[in-house]
Amino acid sequence: MALSSPIAYRVAEGEFASTLPDLIEPSWWTGTPALDPATFTIDCSEYEMGEADLAEDSELAVRMRETFERVGLVHLVNTGLTELAAMRKFAKIVVETEMDYAGGSNPRDNIEPNVYEVGAPLTAWLHYHHEMAYVGKSTRMLSFLAAEAVPEKGATFVSDSVAVTDELLASDFGKKLAELGVCYHRNLTDRDAFVDRVEEGVYNHWQKSLDTEDPDEAVARAQARGLVTEWGADRLLKTRYYVSAFEYFPQMDRNLLYCSVADHGMWFDTWPLVQHLPHHERPLHLTFGDDSEMSRDELREFVEIYGRHGIPIDWRKGDLAIVCNYRFAHGRPGIHLEDGEARELGVILGAQYDRVGAKPDKW
């Protein structure tokens, strides 16, 4: 599948104007949340949001842990918090263990100790995805911290992966995914190859993704995460990861979908300096586990099924949300800010675990 036409925005209207008539635009929700926000939202206006509320046995802490255990999603609103460091303390009531972001695709930087930036341009839409599904060491949960926000603009969406799994497995495409698995193809560029050059076609350099300047160490770290590696021209590090499209979730004792088109070349359909490239030249690609391509209809079904189970999380400054990476995928539309508007989310990654894929008797 080779797509070479450039894509343009009508930014003022927030619409997509494309020379590609078959571009697959993400659908985020049906207009009605797939899950009642009252089941996962905690209004913090009744709390002081001080040290007493951070105690393990405080009313707020107990509510947060119980909500996350029951739903897999917690959204704190009206916190009155203004600093990321303070938000992180409350997120850690649930996110007890944090992981370092090593081996990831997105070029994330630290904006506070153990708090990462989102690592994606605001104008690009981000398809629903499970964090770090493309490597053998993933994360059980993640938290978003709203350092800056514009109400009613720039929501994050989550999609109920339990409902998505049930619907997908009833389809021929879902059965095919379960049978063949998937392969994640990544091309990590060499930072040194772009000295004094515009970083056109760059998603992430292997030096940043794998946190090393040593090519031998980069290969060792990639392979420790279950990746097959190969060097290309200009020290392009090509990685491949073969795995189930599903992941066994111990809490529910069942397999859940853990894959999406976010790791396909179409991830870059609205990504500056990458969107104009043919798909075969883009930094990511996704195939079935036998290396066969997904059809256009299959990709569209993949996108639309997540959207049918979507839930918006609208941000106010000081909000924070904790998301189970098994039970929910997350994503967002492109965001276009006016002068004077700001949106900044910090990201915390929870406990690291080794992916096991699907278990044969847990469907």
- Looking at residue 56, which CATH number applies to its domain? 3.60.130.10
> Does residue 6 form part of some domain?
no
Write the DSSP assignment of 221-243 as a string of letters: HHHHTT-EEEE-GGG-EEEEEEE
Dump pLDDT digits (tens) for 159-200: 999 999 999 999 999 999 999 999 999 888 898 988 877 677
Give 279's pLDDT tier (boundaries 50, 70, 90): confident
> Does residue 14 form part of some domain?
no
Helices (H), the chain: 51-54, 59-71, 84-91, 161-169, 172-180, 206-209, 215-224, 296-307
> Does residue 74 form part of some domain?
yes
Is pLDDT above 90 for 204? Answer: no
* Structural domain that includes position 47: 25-354
pLDDT confidence of residue 249: 98
Dump pLDDT digits (tens) for 319-330: 999 999 999 999
- Decide: helix, strand or coil at residue 338: coil
Whether the pTM exceeds 0.75: the reply is: yes
> C-alpha angle 303/309/310, rounded to 5°?
85
> Does residue 19 form part of some domain?
no
Strands 328-332 and 137-139, sheet pairing: unpaired
Give 5's pLDDT tier (boundaries 50, 70, 90): very low
Q: Token digits for 223? A: 């392979």
Residue 34: exposed, middle, or buried by beta-carbon count in 10 A (0-12, 13-18, 19+)? middle
Which one, of 109, 130, 134, 66, lies nearest residue 306 by Cα? 130
- CA distance linking residue 328 with residue 257, whole number of Å: 9
> Does residue 3 form part of some domain?
no
> Does residue 11 form part of some domain?
no
Dump pLDDT digits (tens) for 88-115: 999 999 998 887 655 555 554 554 554 5
- CA distance linking residue 218 with residue 209, whole number of Å: 9
> Does residue 7 form part of some domain?
no
pLDDT confidence of residue 82: 96
Dump pLDDT digits (tens) for 54-90: 999 999 999 999 999 999 999 999 999 999 999 999 9
Give 17's pLDDT tier (boundaries 50, 70, 90): very low
Mean pLDDT along residues 352-358: 96
Dump pLDDT digits (tens) for 29-44: 999 999 999 999 999 9
> Does residue 66 form part of some domain?
yes
Residue 162: exposed, middle, or buried by beta-carbon count in 10 A (0-12, 13-18, 19+)? middle
- If one counts the domains in the chain, the total is 1
